[in-house]
Amino acid sequence: MRAVDIIQKKRNGGVLSKDELSFLIKGYSQGDIPDYQLSAWAMAVFFRGMNAEETANLTMAMAESGDQVDLSAIRGIKVDKHSTGGVGDKTSLIIGPLVASCGVPVAKMSGRGLGHTGGTIDKMEAMAGFRTELTGAEFIAQMNDIGLAIVGQSGNMTPADKKLYALRDVTATVESIPLIASSVMSKKIAAGADAIVLDVKTGSGAFMKTLEDSEELAKAMVAIGTEVGRKTAALISDMDQPLGYAIGNALEVQEAIDTLHGKGPEDLTALCLALSSHMVVLGGQASNLKEAEAMLRDRLASGAALEKFKVFVDAQGGNPQVAEDPSLLPQAPLVIEVPAEQDGYVKAIQAEELGLAAMLLGAGRATKESVIDYAVGVVMQLKVGDNVKKGDSLALLHVREDNASVREVVKRVQQAYTFSSEPVAPSPLLLSVVTEQGVQRF
């Protein structure tokens, strides 16, 4: 078998076999197939596409390129959740304890943030002492003990995906649905869950800008799950504005804790309940979404979800008192107001710009080596549809000091908001759901 023949076959619109894809991915991850040949193949896939079986075979080849986590020693149906990335997305911190409090084991491997999105692991580490690295034995023991663990991804999971991801970035082949779908799903499958719920973001702050593209990606990922025997559902949610109000690590932990107390932002609470409902159904603890949502609301109201959060933080070395006393989280010494420059109604908010603003304050990474400041960030005061008077506070910046670069961030936040003289209705948060049965728009 030769790489050039496989490239030619895909270039001509052929369907690649499981063996051909395994040969290609194995050869590339071991260094036998060079970047230039894989670049040519990726571009052929970009233009020619892949069918569902091909995409599933590519996914499994990438999942099998490194370590695969065996969760069979953990009791119950293990359900994982994945978000395609958004600004202010702290759902994992809420969904983990909420779903686990319903008796569904949540074994989660999360990433760090790069660019304008902060990773779940960075947010967890904002809690002093919290360990995001557990040994395999510790992970299994904690799962069987409390039904919840969130750890960083292990060094040798899906090495083929890491290489291909970097290559796609520099060869203009990022926006290929089969390549995105296999990248996401290979990591989830290697992480060992029995069922997967996906939160696919759409809109200005998301990777997929249109609902149609987002649904295509969701369909591809659900098809992969079905093909490889993992129950999978995907929700399409709006990312035209950040989720909740807080952007920045400790600030987002605080907002997640507020939500577990039943006092969280409406959009964040609604999305967490929707995703969690699908997880509880796939995890076999409820027979339909309505029953699941009632169970989840009960766990929030009774304090059971908050209690699970405390037990989880304690198990991983953090201080569970953080759930009752926000001052235990890192605090920025200075809070600066960002004033509105005109009257009107908030028409749109560029989520990506606000994510970038938080990163410039030190809440995110410009490079892998960047050190994160857990205390800093942006807390929005107004969302789409809100009425505003000139001089009102658009957002609060939590900063170390007031200097020229902070003043630049103030301008950036002001420019992220656009206004209308007429009232504006915010777009709905939940747009559609994709399952094996197809697409259902809300």
Contact in structure between 232 and 366 (CB atoms under 8 Å): no
- Assigned domain for 426 exists: no
Helix axes 18-29, 159-170, angle to 10 degrees: 80
Q: Are residues 236 and 299 in the same domain?
A: yes
SS3 372: coil
Segment holding 380, helix H or strand E: strand 377-380
CA gap 146, 314 in Å, rounded: 11
19: domain range?
A: 3-49
Sheet holding 377-380, edge to edge: 246-247, 377-380, 393-399, 334-339
- Assigned domain for 408 exists: yes
For residue 243, the domain's CATH number is: 3.40.1030.10
How much is the pLDDT for 114?
59
Q: Which residues pair with 148 in a beta bridge?
A: 106
Q: Beta-carbon neighbour count of residue 197 at 10 Å?
A: 27
User: Which of 302, 293, 292 lies closest to 261, judged by CA?
Assistant: 302
Q: Which residues pair with 433 in a beta bridge?
A: 235, 440
Q: Are residues 32 and 99 in the same domain?
A: no
How much is the pLDDT for 85?
76
- Assigned domain for 303 exists: yes
How much is the pLDDT for 113?
64
Q: Could you tell me the CA-to-CA distances from 341 to 85, 152, 360, 407 in Å, in that order?
A: 30, 42, 22, 15
- Assigned domain for 404 exists: yes
What Rg, from alpha-carbon coordinates, does the chain have?
A: 22
356 φ, ψ to 5°?
A: -65, -40
Helix axes 304-315, 136-146, angle to 10 degrees: 160
Q: Are strands 438-441 and 430-435 parallel, antiparallel or unpaired?
A: antiparallel
- Assigned domain for 159 exists: yes
Q: Are residues 36 and 87 in the same domain?
A: no
Q: Are residues 34 and 107 in the same domain?
A: no
SS3 419: strand
Q: Beta-carbon neighbour count of residue 94 at 10 Å?
A: 27
- β strands within 191-340, DSSP E: 195-202, 231-238, 246-247, 334-339
pTM, full prediction: 0.93
Q: Are residues 315 and 285 in the same domain?
A: yes
At which residue do the structure tokens 């807080």 appear?
246
What does the pLDDT profile of the chain (442 residues) look like in tens digits?
Answer: 999 999 999 999 999 999 999 999 999 999 999 999 999 999 999 999 999 999 999 999 999 999 998 999 999 999 999 988 778 889 999 999 999 999 999 998 887 765 655 688 889 999 999 999 998 899 999 999 999 999 987 768 899 998 998 899 889 898 899 999 999 999 999 999 999 999 999 987 777 889 999 999 999 999 999 999 999 999 999 988 999 999 999 999 999 999 999 999 999 999 999 999 999 999 999 999 999 999 999 999 999 999 999 999 999 999 999 999 999 999 999 999 999 999 999 999 998 899 999 999 998 877 767 788 999 999 999 999 999 999 999 999 999 999 999 999 999 999 999 999 999 999 899 999 999 999 999 9
Q: Are residues 378 and 321 in the same domain?
A: no
Q: Are residues 258 and 371 in the same domain?
A: no
SS3 198: strand
Q: Write out the catalytic residue numbers.
A: 82, 161, 168, 183, 187
Q: Are residues 174 and 230 in the same domain?
A: yes
- Assigned domain for 61 exists: no
Amino acid at 307: E
Q: Are strands 334-339 and 393-399 parallel, antiparallel or unpaired?
A: antiparallel
Q: Could you tell me the CA-to-CA distances from 391 to 50, 143, 338, 434, 440 in Å, in that order?
A: 53, 50, 9, 43, 43
CA gap 29, 163 in Å, rounded: 7
Those residues with Cβ within 8 angstroms of residue 212's Cβ, 6 or more apart along the chain or in another chain: none
Query: First vs last Cα of the chain: how many Å apart?
Result: 48
CA gap 346, 387 in Å, rounded: 7
Q: Are residues 314 and 399 in the same domain?
A: no
- Which DSSP symbol is given to 303? T
Total domains, the chain: 3
How much is the pLDDT for 208?
83
For residue 36, the domain's CATH number is: 1.20.970.10
For residue 363, the domain's CATH number is: 3.90.1170.30
Q: Are residues 246 and 139 in the same domain?
A: yes
- Assigned domain for 243 exists: yes
How much is the pLDDT for 115?
61
- Assigned domain for 73 exists: no
Q: Are residues 225 and 201 in the same domain?
A: yes
How much is the pLDDT for 88?
82
Q: Are residues 361 and 226 in the same domain?
A: no
